[in-house]
Amino acid sequence: MKIAFIGLGNMGGGMAANLVKAGHQVNAFDLSEAALAAASDNGCATYTDAAEAVQGVEAVVTMLPNGAIVKSVYSDSVIGKTPEGAILLDCSTIDVATAREVIAMAEGAGYDMVDAPVSGGIAAANGGTLTFMVGGSETAFSRAEPILQAMGKAVIHAGDAGNGQAAKICNNMLLGIHMIGTCEAFAMAQKLGLDPQTFFDISSVSSGQNWSMTSYCPVPGVGPQSPADNDYQGGFATALMLKDLKLAMEAAVSSGAAVPMGARAAALYEDFNGAGNGGRDFSAIITTL
């Protein structure tokens, strides 16, 4: 299949390369010359104009920083420029309202489109092991699924347009809350005289067990290998966790959901990010406790 890929950053670069590996012909566009050069090395045809990159394609995939950019790329360069009948897939993490607006615009112009944000970081994007949570009609989902499968290990239909983004921010709000709770429990256990490894051995098989503890432990040397074992480098940057928590807070306001714990997690990550920790893994918040 001939596919245009727009947004070849940390995530999109590896995703586009995996589409090439799966046998697709990929037209790549990014504002960054370095990103285009890397895409070319990975077998993509590169373009310096998005509207040219979408000429003659059957699908467009976007992986962009935020909702405002997604909306402008779709209205200026994708909708009306991409051949009729193409399937459009936005894999960026953006707010639910903009995702629904852009999909309505695309559908109004006769395209099938899905929002398909991902779980998994740069390593999963490179390794083709992302999880995609997909919002859109049954038809749009069934057309998007085989393209997403070439870049991930799981593709789940979350319901109508925007529901992929809804699943993503609810999941990441829960992750932020769990991580802070896990950090608090380890810090207090230590102050009470408990060895962190002993606390892990007990809590990881008790009712406090959760992913932030058992798969991503914030204490160095405890649990499986995690960013804590690498001075909190790599992994999921605090700035990205804060981005997702802010999107969750916007969605809570617009939907009237009560999220007292999510709001507290957002405030704590805002402070941590503001203190110069945006590039550190989000589990480094344990160092403030």
Catalytic residues: 168
Q: Find the angle CA(19)-CA(54)-CA(8) to the nearest 5 degrees.
A: 50
> Closest distance between ligand NAD and the C-beta of residue 83, in Å?
20
> Closest distance between ligand NAD and the C-beta of residue 138, in Å?
25
Residue nearest to ligand NAD (CB): 9
Q: Which two tokens stand for residue 33?
A: 């010359």
The only residue of 11, 189, 217, 259 in contact with ligand NAD, by rule CB under 6 A:
11
Between 35 and 99, name the residue whose CB sits nearer to ligand NAD. 35
Which helix (H) or strand (E) segment holds residue 249: the answer is helix 238-255
The reply on whether position 8 binds ligand NAD by CB under 6 A is: yes
Q: Which two tokens stand for residue 134?
A: 């997909």
The reply on whether position 236 binds ligand NAD by CB under 6 A is: yes
Between 92 and 203, name the residue whose CB sits nearer to ligand NAD. 92
The SS3 call for residue 105 is helix
* DSSP letter, residue 281: B
The reply on whether position 92 binds ligand NAD by CB under 6 A is: yes
The only residue of 4, 5, 7, 136 in contact with ligand NAD, by rule CB under 6 A:
7
165 exposed, middle or buried (CB, 10 Å; 0-12, 13-18, 19+)?
buried
Which helix (H) or strand (E) segment holds residue 158: the answer is strand 152-159
> Closest distance between ligand NAD and the C-beta of residue 259, in Å?
20
The only residue of 37, 41, 65, 267 in contact with ligand NAD, by rule CB under 6 A:
65
Q: List the interface residues with ligand NAD, window 101-140 (CB under 6 A).
A: 118, 121-122
Q: Which two tokens stand for residue 244?
A: 């997702």
CA distance 266 to 249: 8
Q: Which two tokens stand for residue 173?
A: 């709000």
The SS3 call for residue 17 is helix
Residues that bind ligand NAD (CB under 6 A): 6-12, 29-32, 35, 50, 63-65, 69, 73, 92-93, 118, 121-122, 236, 240, 243
